[in-house]
Structure 1
Amino acid sequence: MNSDLRASALVAGMSLLGMAIAAGFSYGYVHGNLVIPGDAGATYENIASSAPLFAAALFGWLVVLMLDVVVAWAFYVFLKPIRPRLALLGAWLRLAYAAILGVAIACLFVSSLLASGAVDTSSFPPEQLHALTNLFLEAFDSIWSMGLIVFGAHLWVTGWVSSRSNRIPKLWSILLLIAAVGYAVIHIGNAFLPSSDRIVAALETVFMVPMVAGELGFGLWLLFKGGKLSSAPAQAPPTGGPVA
């Protein structure tokens, strides 16, 4: 049992670190530098002149998507001994998020095809082509934002299950729960309150640290400590009520 837990912890930890690197490159570096908010023409020219870089970013997103599936499995195996049904729910929520992310990535792929000249766009006037490319980029942001609401639900379940174990430090459980709230309120605001930019920006400032430190810190703990032999019981004693 401990060997399975240690293996799943290692897989989860390495996958989370790999996702952080891939997402940092694809979204933080490439998307952040090539996509100019409010300027469809400049964005189009940036992508068209940096087609190999944008293609590399797409590959990075595919890596993130595949690692999300791996993490869903690894979290389930690691958390199953604590609360099996909730661990399964957490895994399904992460898989649902991964499916939504896949749809969003497809929008990026269409933008890449339009800007790189891989498809015949001669029938589109330049301004229309720029607007169409930008439309798919905005669709990526909107769809991914909706998916991050589901991701927040996944983090909430993961944090709650983690909090029921005496082998997992409470710090990570608390950070995961705070990060879950952050993802939910920020992206619900993005999706349903389009005029609340200032409020969303303020929420991002408040929740940024736990959102980054929650899952990444938990991933580092899993990588170096998770599943190792411990004299502590696997889960906290029940305090009453049904066991999930």
Structure 2
Amino acid sequence: MKSDQLDPAFARMAGALYLTIALCGGFSIGYVPMQIVVSGDAAASASNLLGHAGLFKLGVLADSAVILCEIAITVILYQLFRRESPTIAMMSVIARSGMIFVMGINLMLWVMPYGLLTLPSDFSLAERQNLAQLFFDAHGLGIYAWQIFFGAHLLALGAMVLRSRAVPQILGWGLFVGAFGYLVQAFYELTFSSNTTLGYAIIGLLVIVTISEISFGLWLLIFAPRRASQTTTFKHA
């Protein structure tokens, strides 16, 4: 059954969670690793980690916040769009739950280097640095692993948005088409591929999905509640 109105309270919560995830995730996944991890140089990565311990811990807190927000938004999005298709809604829940599980494992991979470099150990310094770099590299690949689940979730979410009369169709298409950016990038990186043309295509799709996700979050936060309020007013009139 298609609907032309979303629950305003759930819409606000989903929008706020979307933007929180975007901010915290951009910091913990985008900014922090760039300041710490040096590809192929275990000693430099270890030095950066110990020299930016405060930044590293903030990144861990931000990652933890993302995981908690993901749990909440998974349930809320299901409540918002389950009327469009219960089957697709459940698929979106399962896919995003799988992503959350992988993100939890990935967080453990991220914190292991700090323990290796700061806690007493029988390993030599060089061995600890090399192990720390191995965990950093595994964490980087882990991001692409959870992107598979997230891409599947966005396909389902985009399909539900397209079935709904409550959300602008352009947002649904942006989520649905952009989902292939996450999926293709995940398979591209996890298979250690190298193709310049495909790389440009991935960037284009990721730009589309990033704009669509932020726009979707803002729409849920600002316009969906207002639209519901206007609809209620018209019905009473």
**Common fold by TM > 0.5:** yes
Look up the match of 2:51: 49
Correspondence 1:52-201 to 2 at 5 A: 52-115=54-117, 117=118, 119-121=119-121, 123-192=122-191, 194-196=192-194, 198=196, 201=199
Aligned residue in 2 for 1:21:
23
- Show the counterpart of 1:242: none
Structure 1 segments unaligned to the other structure (5+ residues):
232-244
Work out which of the residue numbers 215, 218, 222 in structure 2 matches 1:224: 222
Q: Give the TM-score of the pair, scaled to structure 1.
A: 0.87
- 1:204 and 2:206 are equivalent in the alignment: no
Which residue identity is paired with 1:221? W
Amino acid at match of 1:99: F
**Aligned with 1:225: secondary structure?**
helix
Where does residue 8 of structure 2 map in the other structure?
A: 6
Conservation of the 8 A alpha-carbon contact between 1:23 and 1:64: yes
**Higher helix content, 1 or 2:** 2
Give, in whole Å, the separation in 1 of the partners of 2:111 and 2:199: 28
Aligned Cα root-mean-square deviation (Å):
2.0
1:214 paired residue among 205, 212, 215:
212
Question: Which residue number corresponds to residue 235 of structure 2?
Answer: none
**Cα displacement (A) at 1:127:** 2.0
Counterpart position of 2:40 = 38
CA distance in 2, matches of 1:46, 1:188: 30
Alignment partners' CA distance in 1, 2:33 and 2:142: 16
1:239 corresponds to which residue?
none
What TM-score comes out, normalization by structure 2 length? 0.89
